[in-house]
A and B are shown apart, each in its own frame.
Chain A
């Protein structure tokens, strides 16, 4: 190895060691745990698939898993669809003070996550902001109860929480588009709609895919939002993982649930990535 390579490796080794110790080792440990079983106070270390059998066949875990996936996919679609026009507006219609706009978009994201979720509860609740405003305006006669404690509330809250993560990658992709390509499409007779679908959108696809993955993966793992605004119909798999590691005191089952949900998320992500790649391949 040349001296440059050695120097680079020496320099990278402290963060690498740290990541091996606090990331690789723990992840491997979780996988190992998922094959062990809990015997009241101690752990039986013989290999067993019992946890996975329970995680994949018991109706409650199946239902939670399916619901988590459904909610996460819905959150992702809603977040990305609503974020795209904003990113488009920033990239194509804002000419000065772009940085200020980006800064304003990220500020709400830096306030305490817990409090943001809690405030949605305040907005959507029985005596909440929306209900009291509509009552005062006379639009409704009694408070609406369908706003809070269901899956829709979870979707809305998460779509709010992850908005900047969707806007930024799409914005970056749109900024990279060579504006002369758009003029060329126009000169060759494409109308604005055709131009958007045949040039702009395909070129922005890497950003859209990145945004999709950035939103999808962490939302599966969120347990605060379902706990606070989801009610019983909005609970997700991460709530169950948390319960297994906490009150239920069955860490191996929790580990199996965590590994299973990660596996599902990883395969869905891979699918999205490949579809996105194919879509992009068609234009190039």
Chain B
């Protein structure tokens, strides 16, 4: 099979396709270190001044702080809610189970603009002011389905006899959860925290609709894209974000595999969530 021309052609296609996938991403560091205000070829020379610009932009620092606050809050809240749902789905049978889980997973297939507009309308009706917390609400909504997807596999791989053994040996229900269940699913929990943090950090549409005067990082970038002179520093910012996202994802993947290994499953075969 290896030597047939069709397989070779397919391999070549795969390489071209990967080049297509990476084309825009590779430009990011290229222009971040390029010594010119115009984003175009040919490149003019190496510089790190666009990174220095970032250090001295006060409004950027505020946006980063806002985004970190929103990201961390969203990650914690959605992981807690996701853990409840995943645990219930993996362990118990209850009425309307499929319907309830399906409803909670719904934001995964809804266009984000619909989620954003719907929340905006509700807030307008209730007379609640827009703030970073309304953004957190929207982000938790779209992150929970991803957390459930990650955590369900963690809870599914759990051997119930371990929990039963712990209870037989006199541990309370809460004690069993804290000392047996939680450590076993911990890698899944961390992976869920990292993924939801990454989603929240990058989310634009909901943040754009639901934020008041405090902007998150993507909303800040959106406002900068209008000014051609700001573009090189936006490229530098994008490069930093790219490096951070990749790092977080590698961490998340590492924790996920560790959780799979802990439970004796084959970690490499499915590729997991990512």
User: Which residues of A pack against B, CB within 8 Å?
Assistant: 1, 4-9, 11-12, 14-16, 18-19, 22-27, 29-30, 33, 82, 85-86, 88-90, 93, 98-99, 102-108, 110-116, 118-120, 122-123, 125, 127-129, 132-133, 136, 160, 163, 175, 192, 213-214, 217-218, 220-224, 228, 238, 241-242, 245, 251, 254-255, 258, 262, 265
Contact = CB atoms under 8 A, between A and B. Distances in A.
B121 A9 contact: no
- Judged by DSSP, the binding face of B is helix
Given A133-B41, A258-B114, A14 B28 contact: no
Nearest to B249: A110
26 contacts: A5-B94, A8-B91, A11-B84, A11-B88, A12-B85, A15-B81, A16-B100, A19-B106, A22-B138, A22-B141, A88-B10, A89-B14, A98-B268, A105-B18, A111-B238, A112-B221, A113-B202, A122-B27, A123-B24, A128-B40, A160-B21, A213-B109, A220-B111, A224-B204, A241-B117, A258-B113
Contact of A217 (B24, B80, B97, B109): B109
Contact of B114 (A14, A99, A221): A221
A106 B253 CA distance: 12
Q: By CB atoms of chain B within 10 A, which of A112, A120, A123, A224 has the most? A: A112
Given A23-B103, A224-B205, 15 more contacts: A1-B95, A14-B80, A19-B141, A29-B125, A85-B14, A107-B25, A111-B28, A112-B241, A112-B242, A122-B27, A129-B40, A217-B109, A221-B112, A221-B113, A242-B113
B12 to A, nearest CB: 10
Interface residues of B, number: 88
B75 interface: no
Contacts of A23: 103, 106-107, 115, 118, 141
- Judged by DSSP, the binding face of A is helix
B121 A30 contact: yes
Given A11-B87, A114-B222, A5 B117 contact: no
Interface of B: 1, 6-7, 10-11, 13-14, 17-18, 20-25, 27-28, 31, 38-42, 80-82, 84-85, 87-89, 91-95, 97, 100-101, 103-104, 106-107, 109-115, 117-122, 124-125, 137-138, 140-141, 144, 148, 198, 202, 204-205, 209, 218, 221-222, 225, 234, 238, 241-242, 245-246, 249, 253, 267-272, 274
Given A112-B202, A221-B111, A12 B84 contact: yes
A115 to B, nearest CB: 4
A212 to B, nearest CB: 12
A-B interface, 10 closest residue pairs, ranked by CB to CB distance from nearest: A221-B111, A8-B92, A8-B94, A26-B118, A119-B24, A11-B88, A132-B41, A127-B40, A102-B271, A12-B88
Contact of B204 (A4, A29, A110, A113): A113
A18 B144 contact: yes
B111 to A, nearest CB: 2
Contacts of A116: 24-25
